[in-house]
Amino acid sequence: MRYRTLGGTGIEVSAHCLGTMMFGAVGNPDHDDSVRIIHAALDAGINFVDTADMYSSGESEIIVGKALKGRRDDVVLATKVHFPMGEGPNRGGNSRRWIVKEVEESLRRLGTDWIDLYQIHRPDHTTDIEETLSALTDLVRQGKIRAFGCSTFPAEEIVESHVIAERRGLGRFRTEQPPYSILARGIEKSVLPVCRRYGMGVLTWSPLASGFLTGRYRKGGTIDLSTGRAALHPHRFDPSSPLTAAKLEVVERLVAVAESIGTTLPELAAAFPIAHPAVASVIIGPRTMDQLESLLKGASLTLDDETLDRIDAIVPPGTDVYPPDGVWTPPSLTELPLRRRPVGERSGA
């Protein structure tokens, strides 16, 4: 297993990070089996584990806590906060009120006294970034977290956070966790260069592009919309969708690349993000032991320039074959009053 320094934190992490979103009710509900998978990853040299409070409504954190008993000191543990946890107001977001409360819940579920990396899962335009950074800075000073970062933030939001942190004398985001795969390379245009400029560690998610780079879905084949990820988000796997067709066309060309170098498509996909100099670690999120073993093979694979050139010819740098699933959409696009003048004002000069 290769290890890299996580930005300017001085923390050494494995080049592949174990993502635990699929442990719990959403993926693998068997706690004992999930613990075995986590232990297998640690035994293989992975020392970086990422989870979030909202994964299976806290169940993933509970499973991770069980798995790390007796091994906590050897693991760099990351979790996240932002998404709603339960009904009612003030049970989500990036406010001081919610962060201070929810970090205690995560510590309890994880069975630990500290979190190595506490991440803001998505931006929140109802909360001043200064409020968020101030709360996180206090948690570092209290020893409850060691460092903090952001996840799926656009480049402009990352820059703003650093400007505010410098002006107000606050701690700053040390990491960013964006989606990145051969099918979704958009972050190469601005997010990754900005992270390098600010010395941020980058841990990327979804190297298998929500399953399309597993080889399970092929052109001309049938897609079962009743199981797995396809059942959760059938519109993303609809065979009649132009986006699905575009993904499958690229998959066929990538399968040929993988076969030509004696590897598999998921191994190629897992190896691709770590080739970028801005990326410190790639999150792999298995649900089963077989999936973990397949992804670990990709962790030991190094892609040469010729292979990367062939990938560039199929999906040019900085382009997305499809908009990555689960990304944050700014209110300026989703809220009509922010992108349309009132009818009475549209005819004015």
What amino acid positions are annotated as catalytic residues?
55
Q: Which residue has the tokens 């970062």?
A: 149
Q: For strand 16-19 and strand 76-81, is the pairing parallel, antiparallel, or unpaired?
A: unpaired
Give how far the C-alpha of residue 95 lies from the chain's centroid of Cα atoms, to the nearest Å.
21
Give the number of other Cβ atoms within 10 Å of residue 169's Cβ. Answer: 8
- How far apart are alpha carbons 235 and 245 in whole angstroms? 13
Phi-psi region for residue 7, left (φ > 0), alpha (ψ -120 to 50) or beta?
A: left
- Under a CB-based contact definition with an 8 Å cutoff, are residues 315 and 236 in contact? no
Of residues 265, 263, 231, 264, the one with CA closest to residue 248? 265
CA count, 13 A, side-chain hemisphere, 190: 8
- How far apart are alpha carbons 327 and 208 in whole angstroms? 15
Backbone angles phi, psi at 261, to 5 degrees: -110, 15
Find all residues with CB under 8 Å of 71, minimum gap 6, and list them.
Answer: 42
- Under a CB-based contact definition with an 8 Å cutoff, are residues 149 and 48 in contact? no
Q: Dihedral (C-alpha) 17, 120, 326, 110: value to the nearest 10 degrees?
A: 50
